[in-house]
Amino acid sequence: MNGTTTTDSTQSRSVPRIKFTYQAALGLLLIALIVLFGILQPVFFHLNVLFDTTSIVGEIGIMALAMTFIITTGGIDLSVGYILQLSAIVFGAVLKSSGSLALAIVFSLAAGTACGFINGIIISKTKIPPLVTTLATMNLFRGVSFIIAGTSSYAGFPAGFKLISTYLVFNAIPVQFFYFIFLFVFFNLVYSRGSLGRSLKGIGFNEGVLIFSGIRTKRILLLIYTLCGLMCAIAALIYLGRLSAAKTSMGNDLNLQVITAVVLGGTSIMGGVGSMVGTFIGVLIIGVLRKGFTLVNFSGNIFNFTLGLMLIVALIVFAVIEERKKTSGRILK
Amino acid sequence: MPEVVLQMEGINKTFPGVRALSNMSIDLRRGEVHAVCGENGAGKSTLMKLITGVYQPDSGEIRLNGQPLKVHNPNDAYAKGIAIIFQETSLFPDLTILENIFMGHELRRPLAGIVRFLSFLDYPAMRKKAGEIFGRLGMEIDLDARVSQLSVASRQMVEIAKALSFDSSILILDEPTAALTSREVDTLFETIKKLRTHGVSMLYISHRLDEIFQIADRVTVIRDGEHVQTGDVSRVTRDQLVAWMVGRTLDNLYPKEDIEIGEVVFEARNMRQEGVINGVSLTLRRGEILGISGLAGAGRTELALLLCGLARPDSGEILVDGTRVAIRNYQDAMERGICYISEDRQKYGLVVPMTISENITMPLLARLSGFLGIINSSKEREISATYIDNLAIKTPGADFVVNNLSGGNQQKVSVAKALATEPRILILDEPTRGVDVGAKSEIHRIISSLARAGKSIIMISSDLPEIMGMSDRVMVMKNGARQGELPRSALSQEKILHMAL
Amino acid sequence: MAKKRVTSREFMLGALVLAFIVFLSLTTGFGSTSGIFSMMLDVSPTIVGAIAMSLIIFTGNIDISAGTIMGFVGFVAAVFAKAGYPFYVFVSAGVLTGMLLAGLNGWISVTFKVPSIVVTLAMNMVHIGFYVTFLPNAGWVLNLSDSFTFLGQGRFFGIVPFIFVIAIAVAALCIWIVKYTKFGKALYAVGGNRQAAIYAGISPDRTVLTVYLVEGLLLGIAGILKATTANRLMPSVFQGREMIFIAAAVVGGVNIMGGSGKVLGAVFGAVLVYLLSITMIYLGFQDYFQFALQGIIILIAVFITVTDFAPLRKRLKKAFAPKKAT
């Protein structure tokens, strides 16, 4: 139903198959990357190193799942990195002042959800487009996180807390990977076979017709942005567990990673077309890249650079495919 | 001997499946207002688009001042002195009137000294010229006002001024009075008269006979893409015009059956929308097909939008089964069993890149989904298969993307989508426009069977034979008001047109 | 009713700026020569950057890599200066760098029909990654040569900084260009009603490509202006600067959706945003409040531009209208 490209005249019946083909190609790319890094640094093939790649996908992945919803509607959320940052700071601040882990978790989740809600309200109730909205709120959330934290950072989290991110299942696989898979299953189900998923795609194509069909699009938009905020907060907790510190510099790079994962996975930036499976693989690719780069001693900045390049190339490629589709003309009369 | 400025001879234009213009000829004399008249769909628009370069003729010749003319695009037309005043304005709302008039062809002055080869915009010259233009039109206007602040009538004036800024000698006005109040129409006519004295030749497309008799020198009637007659307005009567516009035999058979018509299921009382709808009332019975006729701009679609909650009336009541109901939005209407099927599929009907199945089941998503909102795909398949079958939608499967269907089949999907909500009252707006002949009769068959099944239908149509063939009653609208009603037995094209014009 | 040539909005902004300055002078040490002087120094690059951004926004596009481009420009110019090249060479190098980078953004957006937001988002990361990875010393340039910094130190009459004069000159030039050339009109046309622009014979693609080049040029100037006042440079100093430009533009009345706004407004907007942040500092807020402030400013300014207040106005009129006698 949401094919990205089609070249033969046995059209739409093959559309699901085409979609599968793109994601399959993406999967092949993943494998190719693993092989490549393995050749460069044979230690890469060790199972625990391999599994370690999934350690960072916890944060990115969970945010990317929610971001897929948003981009499918033709929108975008540039503030995700800073929602995470704000939630993390809130966690640190509350923990420091109250000593209660539970309270810190609750407040942190609430903060993230509130941020998402702010985005959602503005986007669904006013005519300000998601781009401008999140461009502005990104600064807002960043500023608030600074206001709360000052220039300090928080550290010294209780040992038990670290476990939520560092526990190794079967002594090998980071537990975050399971969080990711767990959430992925739900998100994918709703996205590909749920009425929500279909509505999202519809909004991305033509919101007007959906309103006309009785679907409450504004409510849906409010929901997905709020959900995104919540996901960022959850991701923040996982991130904190891994890093054991909350700093005011966390937000910067995350945006790029999340958006690249989604776009790479085949979700169109114009909306309407998308794949949660693609996002899943995209996130894994980013994880592998990150780990691989570290192993071959490439800095974090080369990583960002590569990611930026990948995003641009992916956008260009998809845009070209869209153009070709438009000019290929009708097949059935 | 009056000078002919523009001449079209033997023009043919065909679109896939439709023959728009057939051996069309028309000529325009200097300084005349030449009205072009015909029903909706007769070919007036296509003719104008040929003159202004939006389309190219398949065969035939156009001559400007005696020389053969080839216009490649609207810009080219401007350059050659031909301008068209569209209905949808192509103005820039945030810019001033002056900026809008000269956009793209601003007057310039060279810089001084060494940079003489560079030029900058010459505002004084532009203001002067604009002042002259508006002076010629007899208007005083603030050139620095933003277009977004202007009324539709004023915007039209700006469009006219824009056309004149190209020193156009030929002006085409396409239904210019559609959105104007009568006072504004008078102003427009004053303007037209002034233009005439300045030697501007005008083609005035309209179906409003009163206006034609008021302002035009000659009139040409087009019907079904062919030239019927051209005559001096002073020597033609209203009846003659109507006869020329109609003059065809009803040879299409419409599958209308005689059904027993039941009680009143739907009633609208005194629907009013400021400036648009003027106190319209109607009743609809079970199994009945009520046709609504009238010319473009008479308010038929606007009325329909009021009846189904897509627009809010300033006053008026809607009754379903005798009880007054509040319809504040389309959802309310759907819940009451009212649905609206528009000809503008892109806007109202279908999400084109999605499949037939997804489109048909869209209004039913809530009903089709269970836990977590997962759609029951077997139920979905069942529903789409049923409708594809019933409506004979030509497709290899329900998972075909709607974009690849023909116009007729797309319309059927649109109908299926509306039917899926199991409505009792259907409001169809131009159900067969843009649909090929084969699909047309199928859609008519479907409509008849719906009526037979006890549904009540309001059908808006500009296709006279269609409306006469399908309706039990025909209500004719004009200028936002109900002009009259004709029962099936008393229907004739002349009567309908007389009321409509 | 004929409106003034300088519309009421710009008037209001100018008045606000004046009011601010007066307020600050009276309540803090701002009014002193050094205060005004440092304002002129600080605000000059922002003025040029805000103008650059508003030109882009007129066409309905955006560039969130502007800050990074500025950084690159400063870096390239400083390197050339250090290598001993004369003034006009290193300035040209910087400006060309700006045009190249911004032009690339525009080219990708136009050729592949990708929305400028995503293009510039990605390119921003590409640029940052590039200089940190491939440039020596991760990009730091220390001990800038004198020929470079003299520009920053120079003043007219000992009071007005050189760079301020340049910024004002650039602003005046841009205001003139936008108003008195076909290109300026084309910017508004493309952003206001793309289809109508095509009918009017304007090529949206060419216009957008050109405006990105112009933006690059202006960012080049802004980058050099900023760099000459520093004593060491790194491309990332300006990361995030584009937010200030955007805030300045929207405060100045530029419609974020494109099609309207005035360059003069952006200039006042830049000064106003600067004054607002100064005020906050004097009021005791730390400078990271800047981010929150910018965010809120953008939201409010855009909300005002985007919302249709007509129905509200009508209702207010009705509420306050004298009741008719029945």
Q: What's the average model confidence in pLDDT over C132-142?
A: 62
> Distance, in angstroms, between C46 CA and closest chain A CA?
18
- Cβ contacts of C305 on chain A, cutoff 8 Å: none
| Domain range C33-305, CATH class | mainly alpha
- pLDDT score for C232: 60
Chains with ≥3 Cβ pairs under 8 A against A? B, C
- Cβ contacts of C199 on chain B, cutoff 8 Å: 74-75, 90
Scan residues 251-290 of A and list those with Cβ closer than 8 Å to C: 255-256, 259-260, 263, 269-270
- Contact: C189, B103; criterion CB under 8 Å: yes
- Minimal Cα distance from A326: which residue of B? B403
Say if residues B318 and B272 touch (Cβ distance below 8 Å): no
pLDDT per residue as tens digits for the range B153-198? 788 888 888 888 888 889 998 888 776 777 778 888 888 888 888 8
> Distance, in angstroms, between C200 CA and closest chain B CA?
5
Say if residues A141 and A83 touch (Cβ distance below 8 Å): yes
Torsional sign, CA B52, B55, B56, B57: negative
Tell me whether residue B16 is exposed, middle or buried, using C-beta atoms within 10 angstroms of its C-beta: 0 to 12, 13 to 18, 19 or more.
exposed
pLDDT per residue as tens digits for the range B244-261? 877 654 445 566 677 788
DSSP H or E run through B456: strand B456-460
The number of CA neighbours under 13 Å toward the Cβ of B247 is: 17
- Contact: B354, A213; criterion CB under 8 Å: no
Whether B479 shows a pLDDT value over 70: the answer reads yes
Q: Could you tell me if C290 lies within 8 Å of chain A, comparing CB atoms?
A: yes
- Contact: B90, C193; criterion CB under 8 Å: yes
3-class secondary structure for A140-201? HHHHHHHHHHCCCCEECCCHHHHHHHHCEECCCEEHHHHHHHHHHHHHHHHHHHEHHHHHHH
- pLDDT score for A55: 73
- pLDDT score for A251: 67
- pLDDT score for B475: 92
pLDDT band, residue C28 (cuts 50/70/90): low
Whether C141 shows a pLDDT value over 70: the answer reads no
> Distance, in angstroms, between A313 CA and closest chain B CA?
25
How many other C-beta atoms lie within 10 A of the C-beta of residue A161?
18
Q: What's the average model confidence in pLDDT over C200-211?
A: 92
Torsional sign, CA A194, A197, A200, A202: negative
pLDDT per residue as tens digits for the range C232-281? 666 666 677 888 899 999 888 898 888 888 899 999 989 888 888 877 77
Domain boundaries, chain A: 20-35+46-321
What the block records as the tokens of B440 is 């047309």
Residue from the list A189, A208, A211 with its beta carbon closest to the beta carbon of B374? A189
- Minimal Cα distance from C117: which residue of A? A131
Tell me whether residue B239 is exposed, middle or buried, using C-beta atoms within 10 angstroms of its C-beta: 0 to 12, 13 to 18, 19 or more.
exposed
> Distance, in angstroms, between C179 CA and closest chain B CA?
8
- Contact: B350, A209; criterion CB under 8 Å: yes
- pLDDT score for C58: 96
- Contact: C2, B144; criterion CB under 8 Å: yes
Q: Given the DSSP bridges, would you call strands B456-460 and B289-294 parallel, antiparallel or unpaired?
A: parallel
- Minimal Cα distance from B106: which residue of C? C182
- Contact: B351, A202; criterion CB under 8 Å: yes
Contacts of B145 (CB under 8 A, 6+ apart): B96, B97, C1, C3
Say if residues C62 and C120 touch (Cβ distance below 8 Å): yes
Q: Which span out of A65-69, B100-104, B370-374, C267-271 was modeled with the highest average pLDDT? A: A65-69
Q: Could you tell me if C1 lies within 8 Å of chain B, comparing CB atoms?
A: yes
- Contact: B94, C195; criterion CB under 8 Å: no
Q: Which span out of B96-105, C35-44, C128-137 was modeled with the highest average pLDDT? A: B96-105
Going from the N-terminus, what domains does chain B have, and what CATH number goes with each?
4-246 (3.40.50.300), 251-337+423-501 (3.40.50.300), 351-422 (no CATH)
Q: Which residues, in sequence order, are bridge partners of residue B13?
A: B21
- Contact: A198, B365; criterion CB under 8 Å: yes
- Cβ contacts of C255 on chain B, cutoff 8 Å: 94
Say if residues C80 and C93 touch (Cβ distance below 8 Å): yes
- pLDDT score for B176: 82
- Contact: A319, C114; criterion CB under 8 Å: yes
Q: Could you tell me if B399 lies within 8 Å of chain A, comparing CB atoms?
A: yes
- Minimal Cα distance from A74: which residue of C? C115
- Minimal Cα distance from C290: which residue of A? A143
**Does ipTM top 0.85?**
no
> Distance, in angstroms, between C78 CA and closest chain B CA?
33
Share of chain B above pLDDT 70, in %: 94
Scan residues 335-364 of B and list those with Cβ closer than 8 Å to A: 346-355, 358, 362-363
Please count the residue pairs, one from chain B and one from chain C, whose beta carbons lie less than 8 angstroms apart: 64
What is the four-CA torsion angle of B429, B430, B433, B439, rounded to 10 degrees?
90
Say if residues B170 and B83 touch (Cβ distance below 8 Å): yes
- Contact: A132, C113; criterion CB under 8 Å: no
Q: Which span out of A227-241, B337-351, C147-161 was modeled with the highest average pLDDT? A: A227-241
Closest to A140 in 3D by CA, of A56, A30, A251: A251
Q: Which span out of A237-241, B138-142, B300-304 was modeled with the highest average pLDDT? A: B300-304
- Cβ contacts of A211 on chain B, cutoff 8 Å: 330
Task: Quote the pTM value.
Answer: 0.82
> Distance, in angstroms, between A111 CA and closest chain C CA?
16
- pLDDT score for A15: 47
Q: Could you tell me if A272 lies within 8 Å of chain B, comparing CB atoms?
A: yes
Q: What's the average model confidence in pLDDT over B107-131?
A: 82
Residue from the list A143, A304, A319 with its beta carbon closest to the beta carbon of C113? A319
Residue from the list C180, C193, C199 with its beta carbon closest to the beta carbon of B75? C199
- Minimal Cα distance from B361: which residue of A? A213
The CATH number of A20-35+46-321 is 1.10.3470
One-letter amino acid of A58: G
Share of chain B above pLDDT 90, in %: 10
Residue from the list B330, B334, B404 with its beta carbon closest to the beta carbon of A332? B404
Rounded to whole angstroms, the Cα distance separating A232 from A67 reads: 10
What own/partner pairs with CB < 8 Å and gap ≥ 24 does B134-141 have?
B134/B161, B136/B164, B136/B194, B136/B195, B136/B198, B137/B161, B137/B164, B137/B191, B137/B194, B137/B195, B138/B190, B138/B191, B138/B194, B139/B191, B141/B97
One-letter amino acid of B471: S
- Contact: B121, C182; criterion CB under 8 Å: yes
Rounded to whole angstroms, the Cα distance separating C116 from C57 reads: 11
Task: Point out the residues of chain A with pLDDT beneath 70.
Answer: 1-20, 47-48, 50, 151-172, 244-252, 326-333
* Weakest mean pLDDT among B330-339, B369-378, B454-463, C219-228: B369-378
Residue from the list B93, B99, B144 with its beta carbon closest to the beta carbon of C185? B99
Q: Which residue has the tokens 């476990």?
A: A163
Rounded to whole angstroms, the Cα distance separating B62 from B423 reads: 51
Residue from the list C180, C189, C259 with its beta carbon closest to the beta carbon of B121? C180
Chains with ≥3 Cβ pairs under 8 A against C? A, B
Q: Could you tell me if C185 lies within 8 Å of chain B, comparing CB atoms?
A: yes
CA angle C257, C262, C266 (to 5 degrees): 90
- Cβ contacts of C195 on chain B, cutoff 8 Å: 90
Q: How many angstroms separate the first and last alpha carbons of chain B?
A: 33
Chains with ≥3 Cβ pairs under 8 A against B? A, C
Domain boundaries, chain C: 33-305
Please count the residue pairs, one from chain A and one from chain B, whose beta carbons lie less than 8 angstroms apart: 97
Closest to A200 in 3D by CA, of A188, A212, A213, A191: A191
Q: How far is CA B462 from CA A222, B42, B407, B413, in A?
A: 42, 11, 18, 22
- pLDDT score for C154: 66
- Contact: C202, B75; criterion CB under 8 Å: no
Q: Which span out of B279-283, B347-351, B460-464 was modeled with the highest average pLDDT? A: B279-283
Q: Could you tell me if C255 lies within 8 Å of chain B, comparing CB atoms?
A: yes
- Contact: C133, A299; criterion CB under 8 Å: yes
DSSP state of A42: G
- Cβ contacts of A333 on chain B, cutoff 8 Å: 406
A1, A5, A8, A12: which to substitute to probe chain B, counting the most B Cβ within 10 Å?
A: A12
Tell me whether residue C89 is exposed, middle or buried, using C-beta atoms within 10 angstroms of its C-beta: 0 to 12, 13 to 18, 19 or more.
middle
DSSP H or E run through B459: strand B456-460
What is the four-CA torsion angle of B338, B344, B349, B350, rounded to 10 degrees?
170
